[in-house]
Amino acid sequence: MGSAKRVVAIPGEDAAAEAFAATTSLLDGLSLDLDWSYPPVGAAAIQTHGEPFPPEARAAIDDSDAALFGATSGASAGALFYLRWGRETFANVRPTRFAQGVGSPLTRPEGIDLVIVRENLEDLYVLSEGALQDLAPLGLSSATWQKPVADLGPGAYALKVITERGCQRVARFAFELARRRKAQGQVGKVTCATKHNLLFRTDGLFHEVAQHVAGEYQDIEFEALIIDDFANRLVGRPQQFDVVLLPNLYGDVLSDAAAALAGGLGLAASGCYGNDYAYFEPVHGTAPDLERQRVNPTATILCAAMMLEYLEFGEAAQQLVAAVERVYARGAPLTPDQGGSASTDEFCDAVAAAI
Ligand code: IPM
Ligand code: MN
């Protein structure tokens, strides 16, 4: 006791909960000093507390060292929003690494080892939308249409907000990550991609701050691409990337695309880091269309490994990743999304045995 790390568990909905349960039993087998709490969240919390994200759940998060989150269909969105915006977890880290035995649509996926660092709190995700006519008093005009935006007709707008502070902290995070990866043998490069050739003010600011921060990291190579060019290169030759720094929405979309290059969403893990908190959540959703007993828990397991690393159980984290890779390299037992017929539990048992 005393030194145990406190972890909040939020399994989420549908098949995500299945992958979550399989992952936590795998972790239990590692006998780490982890103190799990399952606060009331989502549909169950509505039953017991009358709301999907009661103050108890928020207090549990505030009291914890980290959280592991399954995925949400919407019911646990309150918890997700608090984990991001409440705890200011501004850097969303989404690695894509090809390992032997993992499915890929590419003929030569060997050597893919990139990490998307997605700004996690700003951009269109400030979620401020409204009716176009509400913009009339502001007299805003469209640079392309050359007329007031409010005159474009009945419709809607969304605000894209980029702040200097938001850009700076995520850019520094990306460069620090590139430095740590370089120490482990990677090339040491940050690629920033934006639409700065059109969105001069918003993406322009993101681009400019990244360039400025690059000046503080002479040991790290820096390149700035236009986002559509980046998308093309990501699919064409993903091996050219190391750390990729992206604004929120591009990062959301392109991290799903990146995931497809090395095993798909069943394998894509992600962690959201702030200054004093982090939580871990697969890139995928809740997969309500998949058979619950046969979902691939790899993404959740790799999230758990990222969490263990964050909680300073580095050795256990590496063991877990190595065990997962051994099962894929052997080619069995794998879940249906990887061409196998194993159940979630059979896959996890094989990982446990490989540890
Ligand atoms: C993700 C998801 C979320 C996002 C949703 C659930 C709000 O797609 O984590 O990638 O858009 O960020
Ligand atoms: Mn997404």
42-80 confidence digits (pLDDT tens)? 999 999 999 999 999 999 999 999 999 999 999 999 999
From the alpha carbon of 84, which atom of ligand 1 is closest? 12
From 327, 309, 329, select the one nearest 318 (Cα to Cα). 309
d(CA 152, ligand 2 centre) in Å: 30
For atom 12 of ligand 1, which residue has the closest CA? 252
Regarding the beta carbon of 65 and ligand 1, being less than 6 Å apart is answered: no
Rounded to an integer, what distance in angstroms lies between the CA atom of residue 250 and that of residue 239? 19
User: For residue 294, how many other CB atoms are within 10 A of its CB?
Assistant: 19
Ligand 1 atom 9: residue of nearest CA? 283
Tokens at 346, concatenated: 């059979």
pLDDT at 290: 87
Contact residues for 174 (Cβ-Cβ < 8 A; gap 6+): 91, 117, 190, 192, 210, 243, 245
Whether 18 shows a pLDDT value over 70: the answer reads yes
**Sorting pLDDT into bands at 50, 70 and 90, what band is 2?**
low
Q: Tell me how far apart the alpha carbons of residues 231 and 208 are, in angstroms, rounded to a whole number.
A: 20
Question: What distance in angstroms lies between residue 157's CA and the mean position of ligand 1's atoms?
Answer: 20
Residues 128 and 159: their CA atoms lie apart, in Å, by 6
CA 250–ligand 2 middle distance (angstroms) = 10
User: Which helix H or strand E contains 206, and what residues bound it?
Assistant: helix 202-214
Residue 92 CA: nearest ligand 1 atom is 9
- Identify the pLDDT of residue 19: 95
Average pLDDT over residues 220-239: 98
Q: Which atom of ligand 1 is nearest to the CA of 255?
A: 10
Q: Angle 14-28/344-354 helices, nearest 10 degrees?
A: 20
Per-residue pLDDT tens over the stretch 100-141: 999 999 999 999 999 999 999 999 999 999 999 999 999 999
Q: Is the CB of 252 under 6 A from ligand 1?
A: yes
The tens digit of pLDDT for each residue in 234-266 reads 999 999 999 999 999 999 999 999 999 999 999
**Backbone phi, then psi, for 131, in 5-degree steps?**
-85, 140
Q: Which two tokens stand for residue 124?
A: 């269109």
Taking the C-alpha atoms of residue 247 and residue 13, their distance in angstroms, rounded to an integer, is 27
Nearest CA owner, ligand 1 atom 3: 252
Q: Which of 342, 325, 312 is nearest to 34 (CA)?
A: 312
Cα of 292 vs centre of ligand 2, distance in Å, is 20
Residue ranges near ligand 2 (ion) with Cβ within 5 Å: 252
Give the atom of ligand 1 at the shortest distance from the alpha carbon of 72: 6
User: What are the E-state strand segments in the chain?
Assistant: 5-10, 34-37, 66-69, 91-97, 113-119, 129-131, 141-142, 147-148, 156-158, 189-194, 221-226, 243-246, 271-273, 278-280
Q: Which of 203, 211, 210 is nearest to 247 (CA)?
A: 203
Question: Which pLDDT tens digit goes with each residue over 275-332?
Answer: 999 999 999 999 999 888 999 999 999 999 999 999 999 999 999 999 999 999 999 9
Give the rounded percent of residues in the chain with a pLDDT score beyond 90.
97
Is residue 235 packed enough to be buried (19+ CB in 10 Å), middle (13-18) or exposed (0-12)?
A: middle
With cut-offs at 50, 70 and 90, classify the pLDDT of residue 333. very high
- Phi, psi at residue 2, to the nearest 5°? 85, -60
Pocket test for ligand 1, best of 80, 252, 284 (most atoms within 8 A of CB): 252
- Cα 284 to middle of ligand 2, angstroms: 7
Ligand 1 pocket check for 13: Cβ under 6 Å: no
CA of 285 to the centre of ligand 1 (A): 8
Q: 5-10 and 34-37 as β-strands: parallel, antiparallel, unpaired?
A: parallel
CA of 285 to the centre of ligand 2 (A): 8
User: How many angstroms separate the CA atoms of 173 and 215, rounded?
Assistant: 14
Cis amide leading into 333 (omega within 30): yes
